[in-house]
Structure 1
Amino acid sequence: MAAGKTSSSELHFLVSTGVEKPNPELRRFIRSHVMLGKNLGRALPPRTTRRRRRKENVTPSSTGDVEGLDKDQLEPLPSLNSLSRTHRVLPIPEVPRKFGSNMSSIRFTETIDPEVVEVVLQFSSIAKQVLFPLESCILFERRAEAWIAPLTIDPAFLHTMIFTSQYYFDAVLPQRPSSEMSQRSLPHYTKTLKLLHERFSETGDEQARLSFTTVAAVMGLTGYAHLMGDTRSARHHLKGLHKIVTLRGGISTLRGSAKLLVEILRCDIGMALHGGTEPIFFHEASEPFVAYPDLTPFLELQRGSSSSDSFCNRVVPFEDMNDALARAWSAMSEFCTLINFAAESKQYVTTDIFLDTMASVIYRLLDMRFGVCSTDEAICAGLLAFSCSIFLQWRQLGSSYPNLATTLKACLLKLSYSQQASARQQLWILMAGRVSVFGADDDAWLRPLLLVNMGCCEITSWSEMQELLQSFMWIRMVHEKPGKAVFDSAMACLNPNPEQDSNTRGEMKMGTSFGAERSL
């Protein structure tokens, strides 16, 4: 690159012949030539004047010192009012309101207001915690795929989910159970019945009759009728549900939908325990009981745990127990050990383990027959009550197990006089029943028995009670809070208030003295 030197009145040419950069002299020449064009027409002050002006106009921000400046030299900052006069102040933008509902972009096969469907999503977000006492330890796979996605496909399933979810928010959550349906639920309930009636008619779709969503819809009707106290309709729906499952090929065909199968069997078990009736499923010889799950591989992991709280007594703590009853006890004890370990180690058990343990244990217990108020019947009833607190959801939904509670009460009263069971054994059955099927109304007869056996076992603290309960069977994450409340309430009666009724004090005193005469 080279430049031809000419006089100032002549043109200058730059010739580039390579990729090398121009030398410093040429760069100065280019820069000066450019500035000539930029300053064309300007009247520039002399260089000496510009240097002096730069020195005088040094600002405080550049030196960090304002002490040497006069106040007149410091210009005040413009006020907000002056800014508003010279500049337009823009308003703070507001977040636009939501347009439509969360379901407005989803298309349903039935013409329905999307906002109505939102109640299903609201209940679905809390259903696991409400319906499963062991929810933090159970892994439910593909819940959204199995229960939310079909809402857009089957209108009968959609309306079932709406009225059952609405019932929870209308009656269960505010604790206002009623035999009448709310106006928000009634249209969806009647629509469900109409759609299912058409489906099961002669012209109905054969494949739709046996579909997953049809089974779920009928199950919803069954559970709803049971909660409403309509036992006849509930049992009618349950028999229809059993027929559908049979036509599908039996329980095994629902293994791919373990969550649905769990709900079906829990509905059947809850109704049987509530009314003292025979269960519908696994009642015929053609339906063998579910095999006990093999939990040995999982229990091997638990053996390395440093915590002893997860252990339950895998040795049956009752002498001369019926063999079938002892096998059911062992299966439940292993499951409790696994759940305690899962809770402590922040792990999960599969829905299949939950399902197999529940079905294999409870249906066998319901099928067992023992002498009235015998020790085996007391153990069986106590184990059933304990299982209710783990597997079933009906108490959380406002229902109860009056028939089971009546049977267990009769057995406990008989044991307290016959002394066929030790005080430790009776204490576990009492606590298992109180946290599962008995209520506050039962404390009048249950609390004296509890104090008598606590006195025999010399239990004076909750930690001592915990140790005893865990030597039998106990799940801390489920039973800790209600169990401690029962214990504290009983201990408070040993130091009654002055205002307490004298009859109650006399009853407690008599119960304690009676307990002192008994042996372990």
Structure 2
Amino acid sequence: MRGKNRRKPKGVKIIPGSWINGSSNDITSTSGQQELAIPSPRREFGGSGLSLCVFAQEMQPYSLELIFNFFTILKHALYPLEVCVDATSTSTVWFDYLRYDTTYTHSVLWSTEAYFNLQRQQPTSEACLFHMSKTLTELQILIAASSDVATRDTTISVVVNLIMSLALLGNIEQAEKHMIGLHHLITLRGGLRALQSNIQLQMKASRADLMIALAINKTPTLLSATSISWVSYLAPPNTPITTVLAQNPELAAIYADLVAFARLANIALQTGTKINPLLFQEILISSMYRLLLLPRTTASTNQPNASACDQTPIVRALHTSLTATAANVFLQTGAIGMRFATLSAHQRRDICALDESAIDEEKEMRIWMLVIARITAVDDSDDEWIMSRLSALLRSVKKSEWKEIRTMLKSFIWMDLVHDGPGQECTKAALAWTDDTDEKQTLAIR
């Protein structure tokens, strides 16, 4: 038994480096899964404790309540995937800005007040208008000042907050104008990678860029196709993928990354642990930028391995479905349900363009695509075209029980926390649609 009872050394698990910064340096290296999924005791701060903090301006009790809601309720609304670590609110850079930057403070008070006005279906309050007016007035002064003032972190943070809040509130036109301004400021700063000393700001700016790109159906502006890595970020090399993507290495790499992240999210949910928040954000940024910058129909001369970008109808539909999946998980909020109308239209166009005859693998993939299309649709406007096709495909593969349907769906990209509830409702409705249609047809014949 000599040596049999000695504790074996744990394998070292390396977390990928920063994709956004093109860095080969690891975010961190740990034993086992310690950093990929770590315990997450909730350390929320009490509202009464805020009265002891010193802010950039005097805070009334009502303002302190808004600040508290910004870091608790609104924060969870903006980041609905609860597998992400909730960092202590007072330790974030955003809380520090409230201590010494009045413009940022007004932007936070405005966005929080506007959010709750919308949620309660109330007209815009006087307090909301006041804080927005102060935000815009002070922001104009900052931008008109020296370039050092205009491009400092707090100024960029105010613009980012305006963009994301306006987009969530449905004012896409104004959000797009601020996005143009943000692009100009970050360009003056030296580009997105120049913000790597403030990783929280860098990632939030990237989220704003991706959100507006999806909302207005244009490519992102802060990164270009020639400046990013197209290889897998999270998935191990030579990860098995669906044969549909065998001739599309760039899209296959994105697919493999999202599969790897879905498995990680499911493990975190099952074990009650939390995913490293930096890893979560890096996957968001790497997958969404690649999906939005990858050509959909024809090869691009600016794209590495351009010949591999030509897409068949099934690959084109899968590309759109992956974009919808990533957007739903990373950008859409459960509280507001922001709808990307053009993306939904592309889903319908690409899925409906597929040939009705398909091999079994493609049939199962189409079922997954249709379920994802319904989950990401936000409202009921897409039900008819989705349900008719979904019910027919479920009949063709002879699946009518949720347990076996779920097993099939999980062979693709499936995050239990996000997809189980609406996925079950969708397939149940599709099966009911079949029964209802058959009954109506029978009555019509009679």
Query: Helix, strand or coil for the counterpart of 2:57?
Result: coil
Q: 1:422 to 1:506 in 2, by over 3 A?
A: farther
Asked if residue 233 in structure 1 is aligned to residue 205 in structure 2, the reply is no
Matched residue count: 384
Shift of 1:388: 1.4
Structure 2 CA distance for aligned equivalents of residues 508 and 253 of structure 1: 67
Asked if residue 162 in structure 1 is aligned to residue 134 in structure 2, the reply is no
Q: Partner letter of residue 190 of structure 1?
A: S
Shift of 1:124: 1.3
Match of 2:130 in 1: 187
Match of 1:152 in 2: 99
Match of 2:316 in 1: 377
Contact 2:234 2:283 (8 Å CA) reproduced: no
Match of 1:344 in 2: 270
Structure 1 CA distance for aligned equivalents of residues 231 and 281 of structure 2: 11
One of 129, 149, 156 as aligned partner of 2:76: 129
Contact 1:160 1:188 (8 Å CA) reproduced: yes
Pairing 1:281-430 to 2, within 5 Å after superposition: 281-283=222-224, 285=226, 287-289=227-229, 292-294=232-234, 296=236, 314-318=240-244, 320-371=246-297, 374-394=313-333, 396-417=335-356, 419=358, 422-430=362-370
Structure with higher Rg: it is 1
Asked if residue 109 in structure 1 is aligned to residue 49 in structure 2, the reply is no
Structure 2 CA distance for aligned equivalents of residues 106 and 428 of structure 1: 50
Structure 1 CA distance for aligned equivalents of residues 443 and 248 of structure 2: 35
Q: 1:337 to 1:284 in 2, by over 3 A?
A: closer
TM-score scaled by length of structure 2: 0.77
Structure 2 CA distance for aligned equivalents of residues 438 and 506 of structure 1: 30
Structure 2 CA distance for aligned equivalents of residues 373 and 295 of structure 1: 24
Q: 1:477 to 1:227 in 2, by over 3 A?
A: closer
Deviations 1:458-498 (A, max 9, x none): 111100111101111101011111111112222233443xx
Deviations 1:308-334 (A, max 9, x none): xxxxx9532526442211111111111
Identity of aligned residues (%): 24
Shift of 1:103: 4.7
Match of 1:506 in 2: 441
Shift of 1:132: 1.9
Q: 1:509 to 1:354 in 2, by over 3 A?
A: farther
Match of 1:48 in 2: none
TM-score scaled by length of structure 1: 0.67
Contact 1:223 1:267 (8 Å CA) reproduced: yes
Q: 1:167 to 1:233 in 2, by over 3 A?
A: same
Shift of 1:234: 1.4
Shift of 1:226: 2.4
One of 182, 193, 202 as aligned partner of 1:252: 193
Match of 2:162 in 1: 221
Structure 2 CA distance for aligned equivalents of residues 376 and 332 of structure 1: 16
Contact 2:375 2:423 (8 Å CA) reproduced: yes
Match of 2:206 in 1: 265
Q: 1:508 to 1:101 in 2, by over 3 A?
A: farther
Structure 2 CA distance for aligned equivalents of residues 101 and 324 of structure 1: 51
Asked if residue 463 in structure 1 is aligned to residue 399 in structure 2, the reply is no
Q: Which has the higher contact order (CA 8 A, sep 6+)?
A: 2
Q: 1:418 to 1:320 in 2, by over 3 A?
A: farther
Q: Which sections of structure 1, spanning at least 5 residues, go unmatched? A: 1-99, 298-312, 497-501, 511-520
Asked if residue 197 in structure 1 is aligned to residue 134 in structure 2, the reply is no
Asked if residue 276 in structure 1 is aligned to residue 220 in structure 2, the reply is no
Q: 1:417 to 1:275 in 2, by over 3 A?
A: farther
Q: Partner letter of residue 291 of structure 2?
A: L
Shift of 1:383: 0.5
Contact 2:288 2:326 (8 Å CA) reproduced: yes
Structure 1 CA distance for aligned equivalents of residues 411 and 404 of structure 2: 11
Q: Partner letter of residue 352 of structure 1?
A: L
Pairing 1:13-28 to 2, within 5 Å after superposition: none
Q: Partner letter of residue 318 of structure 1?
A: V
Q: 1:472 to 1:314 in 2, by over 3 A?
A: farther
Structure 1 CA distance for aligned equivalents of residues 335 and 112 of structure 2: 15
Structure 2 CA distance for aligned equivalents of residues 458 and 433 of structure 1: 21
Q: 1:103 to 1:367 in 2, by over 3 A?
A: closer
Q: 1:418 to 1:234 in 2, by over 3 A?
A: farther
Structure 2 CA distance for aligned equivalents of residues 321 and 390 of structure 1: 27
